[in-house]
Chain A
Amino acid sequence: MNKNGKLYFEIDGKPCYADEGQSIIDAAKANGVFIPSLCHVEGVKPAGSCRICNVKVNGRVMTACTTPVEDGMVVDNDIPELIELRKAIIDVLFVSGNHFCPSCEKSGNCELQALAYRYQIMVPRFPYEFPLKDVDASAEHIFHDANRCILCKRCIRTIMKEGKHVFAYQGRGGEHLQIVMDKELASLLTEQEAQEAMEICPVGAILKKEQGFIVPIGERKFDKVPIGSDIEKQ
């Protein structure tokens, strides 16, 4: 514990400080260290579902979004073993969905694509599965495409209408689980709410209608700098 009442910990040897109860991923961000994640939303109870933020805490693999910092903690983040694991999970997500970056409305703003670029993944190591997935375009302002969904649960945890969840899991298991949209609640979403839902989705599974290519590809968030640069620049 240092003099300001903050917890002291280290990430890859870098001295860092955290508030009591702060998760490793949030504390890392505050200290200018990028830990990649596809399911974490700051301020929302962590899901620990994408497993990309796995770090090593005192030698043990733990998700940085669900583990609170403890005083004196030693965290490994940017080490070959974890980079390999993260790349493998990114590969898994690419082959178990149908991702078509060149024509996707989210290209350049997509966190999955951006992580693949950051880790210099040219092609997934696993064979593509080309699963059959559903598309739901029934609501006025919002569009849900399960082909591009990585089942991260961000929408389930954050998008509410009338105090109820708009999105939910359906089914279980490796071949049947998907996220579905409540048709009734989705039809009530305003343009603004549809926009927020699109922004919370890390990939192109939730889209606001009539929005697709207003900002041209090439001028989007991750087109010019790799994901995480804003955190590391601090």
Chain B
Amino acid sequence: MTEKIQSIIRKYSSDKYRMMDILLEIQELYHHIPEQAVEILADQLDLSRVDVEQTISFYHFFSLEPVGKYAIYLNNSPVAHMYGRTEVARAFEEEVGISFNSATVDGLIGLWDTADIGMSDQEPAAIINGTVFTELDPAKARKIIQGIKEGKKVADIAEEIADKIYSKGLLRTMVKNNIHAKGSVLFGDFELENALRKALDKTPEEVVEEVKASNLRGRGGAGFPTGLKWEYCRASGGDEVFLICNADEGEPGTFKERVILTELPRMLFEGMVIAGYAIRAKQGILYLRYEYRYLKEHLESILQGMREMNLLGKDIAGKSGFDFDIRIQLGAGSYVCGEESGLIESMEGKRGEPRNRPPFPVQSGYLDKPSVVNNVETLCKVVPILANGADWFKSVGTKESTGTKLLSISGDCKNPGVYEMEWGMTINEMLEMVGATSVQGVKVGGPSGNCIDSTHFGRSIAFEDLATGGSMIIIGEQRDLLRDFILPFTNFFIEESCGSCAPCRSLTVILRNKLLKILNGNGTKKDIDELYTWAQMGTTANRCGLGQTSANPIITSLDNFRNLYDDLIKTDQDYLSAFDLEKAVAASCEVVGRVPNIESH
């Protein structure tokens, strides 16, 4: 083992900034990070053991304990539950004979809950050793386990249980694209190299001006003007600059980037080359969430093809002195790494804790060099903008929100999937488009966004009204909105908090406990009032976007679904304790053989 681990470390030049890659290889080889590996890593990278372990313990897909030769990570997001996750999980448990979040004694199979894996349009879904399994049902779950017990390869099991396998170069997968509406920008005419040639005919400054003129805003959710970000980076100076593409879409309910990476990788990479030219970067890095690991070989082969066409490498497209290449950096399972500075920390082999600002990444980012972090969809849009001009782009959408938006729509509707639509579409129009009726509410922008009721359905999807990174979860009237969405989304934020800021780390737990008190029937009006007041506190006190929005499920549901809370509380009492005496004495009563006699006290 020692020799193998040392050779992995050598492969990455004993560089502690490549810790993610080193750990990923060890994890995939041994199905955990063995104690011996931690020791060797600490020794060779000149770190303490706890320093190595603090990175390992930050990421969901790294483990110090064996996760199983076949590690089954079954999505347990609210959307997965809408499509029957509970029954699938039970089938897995029965067939394997263990409970979730444990592995069999022989180390063969592990069953693990995992947060949203970007398959909300085809849930229940699971990742087994990097391969994605979608649209599972109990019968398929049993078949998977039988296949494993027969010693079959994961890829072969996938081919057996899939209704259909989709093939694209090196990619063979059962994951569907589900593209239900193609707009004029992303899915318009695209001819590789066309936009790049037009860009290279301009100076880098002119390219920045063109993007600024288009009013393109970041498609990850925050909506920062892309051209301005590039300009700030250029203004930072320095001889080394990085362009980073954020493909860490972790917002539950979003999966549009999965579709772009599958269908339009050349457009994305061309956009990265143009951006690299504009900001004078020589190195581009695609940070790919581990959940999309199955796309890596496919993407690598596209990159290789582009190198062979001289669209990457030296003197790109004949432009003397313009050198640029792209490498793929895998993540390892962490929502907060989608925040640009958390992503940079992760790229440096550390815990993905968002940084304090200033300095901003455009001033001091990856390896303390000026860095631009742009979303996948944003970089794609640079291509049609350069090909057709800023005015063409601005002719679509609204004044503040130019162009189109790719939406990931899931939940209670006929046709979950991705839709490219013009900014400005109303929620009502969207619901009609996807075939949704009897809608109780829509989670706009995922858990960190807004939770709206029907009185808001006339509003439009745009930065000036309902801003969104693209996640749209439709919640039907039959659903228990508080128990099945607001509670698990709050738990999601507790689990995914990096823990650095006190209010994000601990206040969210306090809020969740208060919510539970109300859900358990021990709430009064005072509890609702306190929940609302307390939930507001973290919004300004935390460092990053995650922390600032971690109370949004509670705040927005209190704003728009107050009646659901009111129905749960006791109105005849001012105060109720959440303390359950009967439960508290149950264990001791059992020991002495008594029946709790609460009533008479």
Inter-subunit contact A51/B48 (CB<8 Å): no
Contacts known (A49-B501, A92-B502, A168-B54); A174 close to B508, Cβ less than 8 A = yes
A165 interface hit (Cβ, 8 Å): yes
Within 8 A of B (CB), among A18-66: 46-52, 54, 61, 63, 66
How far does the alpha carbon of A39 sit from the alpha carbon of B46 in the complex, in Å?
A: 26
Within 8 A of B (CB), among A165-197: 165-175, 177, 180-182, 184-185
Inter-subunit contact A96/B500 (CB<8 Å): no
Within 8 A of A (CB), among B43-93: 46-51, 53-54, 57-58
Instruction: Select from chain B the residue with minimum beta-carbon distance to A46.
Output: B356
Inter-subunit contact A150/B502 (CB<8 Å): yes
Q: Which stretch of B243-251, B489-497, B557-565, B592-600 is in the interface? A: B489-497
A126 interface hit (Cβ, 8 Å): yes
Q: Mark A145-167, 1 if CB is under 8 A from B, else 0.
A: 00000110100000000011111
Min CB gap B449→A, angstroms = 21
Contacts known (A61-B541, A67-B358); A129 close to B513, Cβ less than 8 A = yes
Inter-subunit contact A127/B578 (CB<8 Å): yes
Min CB gap A119→B, angstroms = 15
How far does the alpha carbon of A47 sit from the alpha carbon of B351 in the complex, in Å?
A: 14
Inter-subunit contact B502/A164 (CB<8 Å): no
How far does the alpha carbon of A113 sit from the alpha carbon of B57 in the complex, in Å?
A: 31
Inter-subunit contact A126/B534 (CB<8 Å): yes
Q: Mark B300-340, 1 if CB is under 8 A from A, else 0.
A: 00000000000000000000000000000000001000000
How far does the alpha carbon of A150 sit from the alpha carbon of B541 in the complex, in Å?
A: 16
B507 interface hit (Cβ, 8 Å): yes
Q: Name the A residues within 8 Å of B50 (CB-CB).
A: 165-168, 170, 180-182
Inter-subunit contact B494/A49 (CB<8 Å): no
Inter-subunit contact A93/B502 (CB<8 Å): yes
Inter-subunit contact A185/B48 (CB<8 Å): yes
Within 8 A of A (CB), among B498-512: 498-510
Contact of A96 among B47, B357, B509 (CB under 8 A): B509
A137 interface hit (Cβ, 8 Å): no
Inter-subunit contact B46/A172 (CB<8 Å): no
Q: Name the A residues within 8 Å of B500 (CB-CB).
A: 47-49, 153
Contact of A175 among B334, B494, B507 (CB under 8 A): B494
Contact of B510 among A126, A164, A165 (CB under 8 A): A126
A88 interface hit (Cβ, 8 Å): yes
Q: Name the B residues within 8 Å of A185 (CB-CB).
A: 48
Instruction: Select from chain B the residue with minimum beta-carbon distance to A161.
Output: B48
B7 interface hit (Cβ, 8 Å): no
How far does the alpha carbon of A126 sit from the alpha carbon of B541 in the complex, in Å?
A: 17
Inter-subunit contact B54/A182 (CB<8 Å): no
Instruction: Select from chain B the residue with minimum beta-carbon distance to A185.
Output: B48
List 24 contacting pairs A-B, 8 Å CB cutoff, sorted by A.
Answer: A47-B500, A48-B356, A48-B500, A49-B501, A49-B502, A51-B542, A51-B543, A61-B540, A61-B541, A66-B358, A88-B503, A88-B507, A92-B507, A126-B534, A164-B48, A170-B50, A171-B57, A172-B58, A172-B499, A173-B495, A174-B504, A177-B497, A184-B48, A184-B49
Chain A interfacial positions (CB closer than 8 Å to B): 46-52, 54, 61, 63, 66-68, 85, 88-89, 92-93, 95-96, 126-127, 129, 150-151, 153, 163-175, 177, 180-182, 184-185
